[in-house]
Structure 1
Amino acid sequence: MIRFLNFPGNLGHLKCIILFHAFILLCSYTVKAQTTHRLTGTVIDSLKDVVSGADVFIIADKDTLSSITNTHGRFIFSGFKADRISLLVMSVGFKPYTRSFQYKEGQQNMDLDMIVLDLESNLLDEVVINGRDKPIKFKKDTIEYNASFYQVSENDRVEDLLRQLPGIEVDEHGNTTTMGKPLQKLRVNGEDFFTSNVKDFISQLPASVIDKVEIINDFGDEANFTGMKTGEPQKMLNLVTKAGQNRGTFGNALLSGGTNKRYGLQGNGNLWEGSQQIGFSSSSNNTNNEAGVNTAVAAGVNYRDKLSTGVTASAGYNYTYNKNLSQQLNSTETVTTEGTIKNDSKSAAKSADNNHNINFNIQSIANKSYFQASLGGSLAIKNRDGDIFSKQTGLILQDLQSASGSNTKTPNLNGNFVWARSMEKPGRSMSAGVVVSSGINQVSDDLRNKISYYDKHTSQLVKDSLVNRFVDTENRTNMVTADFRYSEPLKSRSDSSVKRNIDFSYFFSLSKTRNSLYTKVDNSTGRTSVVDSLSSIYSSSFMFQRFAISYRYQAERLNYSLGVTAQPSLLTGQYAGNEDRISHFELNLSPIVNLSYNLSNWDNVAFVYTGSSTAPDFYQLQPVPNISNLQNVIIGNPNLKSSFTHSGNLSYQHTDEQNGSTLQLALNGSVVEDQVVSNVVLIKDTLNSLKQETHYANANGAYLIGSMYSYSLPFSKNKFNAELRGTFDYINMISYANNDLNQNRNINFSQTLKLRMNQRRLTLSTSATYTYSSNRYSIELLKLRNIETWQFNWSGRAFLNKNFSLNADVSKRINSGYSLTVANPLLINLSLEKILFKNRQGTVSLQAYDLLNQGNNLVRSISDNSITDSRYNQITRYFLVSFNYRLQNFGHKKTR
């Protein structure tokens, strides 16, 4: 059953279409002109904000053509012959717009004046119509969720709405992913929104103002303007608000305090007047339950506004400070051809990070041109002090005590310029862009080490060795990239809405790196002196080009690009003391494949292939030993070549029109040529003992095959929802151990069953997840390293009455296969919340975290021929009292 208001913007749309077609049939006449025409226009509302997703129809002679406005409110029709045209534009919440006009003799193109839609003011009684909601639709590069299909409570934020959408995951920290990929950009009604920070704003915006949620495969503004889409798209979240809700004032103030010296302060405010956006934020808290004990401070201000029609400018500044006190246990197992090395370590560290970011941006979008320029800068200052004690057993018997201090300073500056233009000939366009960046990374390390050597037969102490070093490293990187694209339309049938283009593109990238490394020791006079054998100056450059030609086909349901690229690259390097200049040239050919096919409004299949080159990092090229870790000294290889990665992704998405169920499937794979891998070798020291050294080499054989699926089934009028999702990955990782090729065949499998109940006064969610990970090394075939985890979660929210609500979150984790001794924690979090004030915008809450005090942080990481299990200290049990006041006022009239 669908509920909506009785006004022409909704129920009247069907009448509008019928009357519109009847009028055209009565007024139509035979058209004799043979000139093909092109029609373009932009749709805005009465407040001059663009209207995206509006339905646009034209009647040209006996043909009816349809289109949808893009994120900039633009629509395009081409290839029709009729001189007399009738236009209809409709969007939910606005009055329908109709117009008829005629082309002059010989006129081919017509660009309409701004089409202004007026808000529908006839908001009368509510009408109930029996029918089926359409929860999801597929539109080319976009998945569109109908927000009205999902249950939204009074104080829900957008993140609460996203948690109900099939195929979308929002974790406890607000990080959002879809089909395994993070949502990296946020827009509202097709326009950039404040800082575009997805995590921040989905926790601030009320879900009640949202009409639709769109997940877009975004190829960038330049590609959206020209239609030439290449490379791997980012996932973008676009929120479409209800009519008249594209402005407002929102924010909140939070004050909290509790046991274990926990506290939180937060204040943010945002003024949103369509295109004008002013926001500020500030916070200070130590309630982050991730690794270690954390204190975080943040502040920022952002401004965005239209300077004139189509021209938008923005600026922002953000500051963050993070302090971390951590204690860590590590258990690392390294396999070699000669045996296994076990390393158990304990560490304590404190760190403080200061980060400044500033940006300026200006963007102009006109009927036939696009321009964007930006300037940004950042400064990161990091200080770290730590102590480590590690014990090596197995093939090597050593103890290492290390105390270190590190200071890092990283200033960066970048600029970006993009220009694009549509030509007079319909479909012909060109664009160009330049990006320039410059950065410095300066690190000063004070390393104080004591190594104890043991006899491998008797385990008796043989010798202690004290090694103190001061290491200064400076890495300077300058980079420039440029690209040019040109698209030429191919002739189509005059009565066809199909578009065909030949696209040409060129991309150029040049990066230059200069790395200096100076290692110093205290001499007999009490001064420091440079150790030449552990110091060097190394410079490298990487030049990459991509020439591409492709054929692009665009129709109502089928869109694809097919072509080929040639990608030459040149990696050069030189270091002081060696007159030989290293030079490696590579030429890679790869196809262009980008396909999207909508079988219907509820079925879509898509495939994307990408090929890309990657240069080695400077530390992998640096030929001088890095002694930061004396138990594993790193020595780069200046003869490395660049690697090339082939990646492909196939996806299928389906919504059942009858029961609202959704199915999403994805299959992805990648193969890497000349991958840069480590080569961990064992060498003898002066005591005839062994120590590790890490070198680098190029190797082939790395690949990945992955799959994932999600099936969601709503029932009982969407009051209940069941979802089954899972992943399976097979990864062949390669490395060298003592110059022998080692393959790590890694299998990852996960399966989740989730049930959710959405009622007005009660929301419940429960899930069970099983994960399995297996690692098998080719150089040690008989020993498997498998971990299995069962995770059970239950959460609920109950409204006890109009003003009180009770929240509960319970999870149980069962672990097996880790090297460290681990618990199977049962975590229980409870909170009681009371709504305050007549406007119901204030809340006071009592929160209890980890009532049984069983929280622990356990992580497994895999690197080449080593597996590391880590556990960190945490403060997980504490009680917190919080007062929160939310400011939200949406839909008010514009005052300026």
Structure 2
Amino acid sequence: MKTKGFTSSIRPALLAVFLFTSLSAAIAQFGPPGGGPPGGSFGGQDDKKKKEFNGVAEDAPKGNGKISGILIDSTSGKPVEFATIALINPTTNKPIDGTTSDEKGKFSLTKLAPGQYRLQYSFIGYKNTDSKTITIAKGTELNVGNVQLQPDVRQLNEVVITGQAPMIEEKVDRLVYNADKDVTTKGGDATDVLKRVPMLSVDLDGNVSLRGSQNIRVLINNKPSTIVASSVADALKQLPADMIKSVEVITSPSAKYDAEGAAGIINIVTKKNTLHGLTLNVDAGAGIRGSNLGLNGSYRQGKLGISLGGFGRAFYNRASSSLDQTTLIGGVPMRTSQQATAFDKPLFGQYTLGLDYDLAKNQSLTANIRYGTRNFVQEQNQLTSTYFGDSLQGKTNRDVDRKDLSNSVDINLDYIRTFKPQQEWSISTQYSRTGLVNNFYADLLNNGGELTARQRNLNNNTNQEITLQTDYQTPIQKNQLLEFGAKVIMRQVDSRYQYQVGGTTGDLVFDPTNPSGSLNYSQNIGAGYVSYTYVTPTKYTFKVGTRYEHTGITATSNETTPLAIPSYSNLVPSINVSKSLKGGATVKAAYNRRIQRPGLQQLNPNPNAANPQNISVGNPTLRPELTDNVELSISSTIKKSYLNAALFGRLTNNALTQIRLPSDTLAGSIITTFQNIGVQRTFGANLFFNTNLTSKWSINGGLDGYFVYMQGMTAGVDGRSQQISNQGLSIGGRLMSQWTLNKGWGVQGFGFYRSPQPQLQGTMGGMYMYSLGVKKDFANKRGSIGLAAENFLGNGVTMRTTLDSPLLSQTSVMNLYNQNVKVTFSYRIGKMTFEEKKKKSKSVNNDDVKGEMN
């Protein structure tokens, strides 16, 4: 890997890392520079604050006694946050005082008078737990230790789907969608799950948008991946839906996160094995459009835990499309009409190996290796007719075989040391590498179907990253938290491409008429951040921070030609404010600045002419874009319903915009590329709800919409650049309903719609999907079998996209025959006993490369 220019661009960051590591080591040896154990919103409640329980002010006699403890989930070992702890008078069985657990599960009751009491712990989804009678003498400070709450898996008439987490939860800085409650996604992949997540949209190619923007970062268990950097859509197809526990949507990331992702961050949390012993899980599915097989095993004994998993999924799907485009040649319109049919045969796989070891009571070491592979093969026939004015100029017929192949590996080694609750230090390292092959082979046929010539494009790319990161956080007094850290990323991108041609027989030879070359792109990033959280006695929470990032770039094309891409530095502030209101409502306001660096395929200079009428090519001189975000939201739980409403705005300058221009070499064809020429102004709103109509029937859904104004440059009729603009409104909605039946049966229905979306040079077509599924759990709860159907009415989805500019117009129609019926099966074998709560681990988060656009 070349690192030319690294010293000058990264030396300040390396010095910061060295100083920070030295400081952290001193802290590890001698302890923090002050601050007691966490309290307030971090480790307990404010003793001076007047408590209120069940709407009645506390009237318990005052004293100097104290009871404290920690609530944990008996199955997962994780803390139970925001649970209710009631102090009961054992004589009257009535509550006389109470509190709630914090984010770490900690609670405390203070100023207790001498006497006898009983504690009652309660929270939705858990069985109510009562303690034995507790005697408090004058000055007693009693710590009850870890209190385990048992999940309530029974179905009770008087409660709402007891023992089941709500479909949508709102945390302090994110919205959480609990995907493991979804029946119809079994046997699918991560794209099937993300289609159901509030604020997200997934198009027919699997590209993900957040509030109308594809400028997002996708993490898996808070970890990045080089395959995600090259293509979010393909990376998500490698992750099985059955392994996803939840999806976190972070619209206003704090300074702790990388500054990348203009619209926000999506963190996919997979199911983590907390079982003690040896286990094996089998998940399989078969359908008319795809099949899958997954095997996951784990072994845990003492301080050592090992997990090994593999997942593969194969598709077989047909599609057809039509293309009608017109370009001006010397003022005379040239029209191209194309009909294409395709047969897709993609194969995706992912394999993981994980180890964790407890070095000591407060220290842990984790290591993970993830290998992903993609084998996307497409057979396509293109029949193209060209007209000059009203006169037919000719017809061409091409049989094209596309190969989009990749393999990626991510290796993590992470260390974390906990001094006391909320005070910890971590070191994270990561090595990632992705190899990407994007080739095509075409047979050129005459009108009689006879072979006349052959063409091949070879394009090999690699993306390699080395990351070093260290973080430290510590509470200050009882209601403040300080976080700071440093990070270095060394990234190397290489791309090599060429065209070959040949006659009806013989070897293919280098084509001198088509471009060939290479790109060597070295990017080094040094960053540091500081974040401060403060909770007031009046229930205001302020989280403010800033992050500084310096990026140095060295790039050459065709081995020797330097590209003048200047280094740049960015200061990205963030402010998050929340206020808890009476009745359980929460109001939040946020501002942050984000930067968006171009991704591998946006930089790739290879002109991909698999379809010569629509050639795509990257731009290696792209610069990052800057986006300012504001957001205002309110959420509340009213009886059995959860409601969340938000207003948001985004202002982007120097936007990375996809543009289309007439080709200079092939009359009638269009080139699609990227440039930093855009201005975008986006304003929108979201409304989501989750309600339980009965103890066995729940409905959730939402509406969202945004208005966007875009401005950019394109080629005019006179050959000079011309400013163009576009604006429009896009609206979407989703609805999901679940029914829990007797004897382990369950039914779920889902529907989604997105109206056409405006683009700088036209409109992207709208889309929809719907599904219906049924599942039966086995009597021993070790497995299940299910049946699901998607888009089972009609003849699939039709998506119409239009493009207009001074020099060209285009209408493309894609027909995706995606009706699907699938049978799913899962079973778990092995000895299973639950172990004590494990310490959390941290890892590298490279949230900093722009994903693919349409």
Q: How far is the alpha carbon of 1:359 from its aligned partner?
A: 0.6
**Which residue of the other structure, out of 161, 172, 181, is the alignment partner of 1:158?**
181
Letter in 2 for 1:710: F
In structure 2, the residue matched to 1:460 is: none
* Residue in 1 that maps onto 2:610: 628
The Cα offsets for residues 366-397 of structure 1, whole Å up to 9 and x where unpaired, read as 86445432111123233332211133558897
Q: Could you say if the C-alpha distance between residues 297 and 667 of structure 1 is closer, same or farther in structure 2, counting changes exceeding 3 Å?
A: same
Moved more, 760-769 or 432-441: 760-769
Please give the alpha-carbon distance, in whole angstroms, between the structure 2 residues aligned to 1:384 and 1:162.
25
For residues 787 and 481 of structure 2, what CA distance do their matches in structure 1 show? 61
**Could you tell me the percent identity over the aligned residues?**
13
CA contact under 8 A between 2:335 and 2:668: conserved in structure 1? no
Residue 723 of structure 1 and its aligned partner are, at CA, apart by 7.9
1:394-405 → structure 2 map (5 Å cutoff): 399-405=395-401
Q: Is the aligned partner of 1:704 residue 2:700?
A: no
Q: Deviations over 1:792-843 (max 9, x none)?
A: 99x9xxxxxxxxxxxxx8xxxxxxxxxxxxxxxxxxxxx9x99999999999
| Contact 1:179–1:666 (CA under 8 A) maintained in structure 2 | no
Instruction: Kindly indicate whether residue 562 of structure 2 is the aligned counterpart of residue 520 of structure 1.
Output: no
Q: Does the Cα contact within 8 Å between 1:678 and 1:864 map onto a contact in 2?
A: no
Q: Structure 1, residues 519-564: CA drift from partner, whole Å, max 9, x if none?
A: 2223899443323562212211222333322321246844331122
| Residue from 457, 466, 473 that aligns with 1:480 | 466
Whole-angstrom distance in 2 between the partners of 1:834 and 1:617: 40
The residue type equivalent to 2:416 in the other structure is A
Alpha-carbon contact 1:571-1:642 (below 8 Å) kept = no
Q: Contact 2:69–2:107 (CA<8 Å) still a contact in 1? A: yes
**What is the letter of the counterpart of residue 347 of structure 1?**
A
Contact 2:184-2:788 within 8 A present in 1 as well: no
Decide whether aligned partners of structure 1 residues 219 and 306 sit closer, same or farther in structure 2, where only a CA change above 3 A counts: farther
Match of residue 817, structure 2, among 868, 874, 877: 874
**Which residue is equivalent to 2:26?**
none
For residues 36-51 of structure 1, what are the structure 2 equivalents within 5 Å?
43=72, 45=74, 49-50=77-78
Name 2:44's counterpart in structure 1: none
User: What is the CA distance between 1:446 and its match in structure 2?
Assistant: 1.7
- In structure 2, the CA distance between the partners of 1:392 and 1:440, relative to structure 1 (3 Å rule), is same
Inter-partner Cα distance in structure 1 for 2:615 and 2:316: 29
The CA distance in 1 between the partners of 2:238 and 2:142, in whole Å, is 31
What number of residue pairs does the alignment pair up? 714
Matches within 5 A, 1:181-330: 199-200=241-242, 232=264, 234=266, 277-286=279-288, 294=289, 296-308=290-302, 312-330=305-323
1:68 maps to which of 101, 117, 132: 101
What is the CA-CA distance between 1:750 and the residue it aligns to? 4.3
1:488–1:371 CA distance, 2 compared to 1 (3 A): same
- The aligned counterpart of 1:828 is none
Q: Distance in 1 between matches of 2:138 and 2:78?
A: 26
Give the counterpart letter for 2:706 in structure 1.
Answer: D
Give the counterpart of 1:386 among 380, 383, 391.
380
Cα displacement (A) at 1:709: 1.4
Distance in 2, matches of 1:487 and 1:843, equals: 43
Which amino acid is 1:314 matched to? S
The aligned residue for residue 426 of structure 2 is 431
Query: Deviation at 1:54?
Result: 7.7
For 2:800, the equivalent position in structure 1 comes to 860
Provide the residue aligned with 1:362 in structure 2: 355
Structure 1's 571 and 116: CA in aligned 2 closer, same or farther, altered over 3 A?
same
State the match for 1:504 in structure 2.
484
* Cα 1:718–1:894 shift into 2, 3 Å: closer
- Residue type at the aligned position of 1:387: N
Give me the whole-angstrom Cα distance separating, in 2, the residues matched to 1:481 and 1:531: 40
Secondary structure of the equivalent of 1:731?
A: strand
Q: Which amino acid aligns with 1:471?
A: N
1:547 to 528, 532, 547: 528
Rounded Cα–Cα distance in structure 1 between residues aligned with 2:568 and 2:270: 40
Task: Specify the code of the residue in structure 2 equivalent to 1:346.
Answer: Q
TM-fit CA distance, 1:677: 3.0
Q: Deviations over 1:51-105 (max 9, x none)?
A: 634848699xxx98845265xx753779999999999573543643467899999
The separation in 2 between residues aligned to 1:506 and 1:229, in whole angstroms, is: 11
Q: Which residue identity lines up with residue 798 of structure 2 in the other structure?
A: L
Equivalent of residue 350 in structure 1, options 343, 354, 359? 343
CA distance in 1, matches of 2:731, 2:801: 16
Distance between the aligned counterparts of 1:720 and 1:834, measured in 2? Answer: 15
* Code of the aligned partner of 2:730: N
Q: Residue type matched to 2:588 in 1?
A: A
Query: In the alignment, which residue of structure 2 is the partner of 1:115?
Result: 146
Q: Which amino acid aligns with 2:320?
A: Q
Q: Are the equivalent residues in 2 in contact too, given 1:727–1:750 (CA < 8 A)?
A: yes
Query: Is structure 2 residue 359 aligned with structure 1 residue 416?
Result: no
Aligned to 2:597: 615
Aligned CA distance change for structure 1 residues 604 and 237 (closer, same or farther; 3 Å)? farther
Residue 727, structure 1, aligned to residue 698, structure 2: no
Higher RCO (CA 8 Å, separation ≥ 6 residues): 2
Q: Distance in 1 between matches of 2:395 and 2:361?
A: 69
Amino acid at match of 2:106: F
Judging changes above 3 Å, is the alpha-carbon distance between structure 1 residues 861 and 633 closer, same or farther for their aligned structure 2 residues?
closer
Listed as ranges, the gaps of 5+ residues in structure 1 are: 1-16, 32-37, 148-156, 164-169, 188-194, 203-212, 240-245, 247-270, 287-293, 453-463, 779-783, 796-808, 810-830
Letter in 2 for 1:68: S
Q: Which moved more, 1:584-593 or 1:335-344?
A: 335-344
The Cα of 1:603 is off from its aligned counterpart by: 1.0
Task: Tell whether the 8 Å contact from 1:626 to 1:635 is kept in structure 2 after alignment.
Answer: yes
**Is the 2:197–2:247 contact (alpha carbons within 8 Å) kept by the matching residues of 1?**
no
1:563-602 deviation digits (Å, cap 9, x = unpaired): 2222222232102264435332122222112333332463
Residue matched to 2:440: 445
Cα deviation for residue 864 of structure 1 reads 8.9
Amino acid at match of 1:285: G
CA contact (8 A) 2:238 2:372 kept: no
Partner Cα distance (2:543, 2:313) in 1: 43
Contact 2:238-2:350 at 8 Å conserved across structures: no
Query: How big is the alpha-carbon RMSD for the aligned residues of Structure 1 and Structure 2?
Result: 6.3
One-letter amino acid of the structure 2 residue matched with residue 421 of structure 1: R
Q: TM-score, normalised by structure 2?
A: 0.65
**Contiguous gaps of at least 5 residues in structure 2:** 1-52, 88-95, 203-207, 209-217, 222-236, 716-720, 837-854
- Counterparts of 1:868 and 1:471 in 2: how far apart (Å)? 26
Q: Secondary structure at the match of 2:621?
A: coil
Contact 2:83 2:101 in 1 (8 A): yes
Q: Distance in 2 between the 1:854 and 1:273 partners?
A: 45
Give the distance between the partners of 1:361 and 1:341, measured in 2 at CA.
58
1:158 partner amino acid: K
Deviation of 1:41 after TM superposition, in Å, equals 5.2
TM-score, L = length of structure 1: 0.62
Residue 229 of structure 2 corresponds to none
Alignment deviations for residues 295-324 of structure 1 (CA, whole Å, 9 cap, x no partner): x33222112344336x64322011222233
Q: Which residue of 1 aligns with 2:844?
A: none
Q: Which residue of 1 aligns with 2:130?
A: 96
Q: How does 1:656-805 map to 2 (within 5 A)?
A: 656-657=638-639, 660-682=640-662, 691-710=669-688, 725-734=702-711, 736-738=713-715, 739-750=721-732, 773=756, 775=758
Q: Which has the larger radius of gyration?
A: 1
Give the corresponding residue for 1:534: 515
SS at match of 2:242: helix
1:585 aligned residue: 567
What is the rounded CA distance, in whole Å, between the counterparts of 1:219 and 1:752 in structure 2?
A: 19
Q: Secondary structure at the match of 1:594?
A: strand
State the 1:661 CA deviation.
4.6
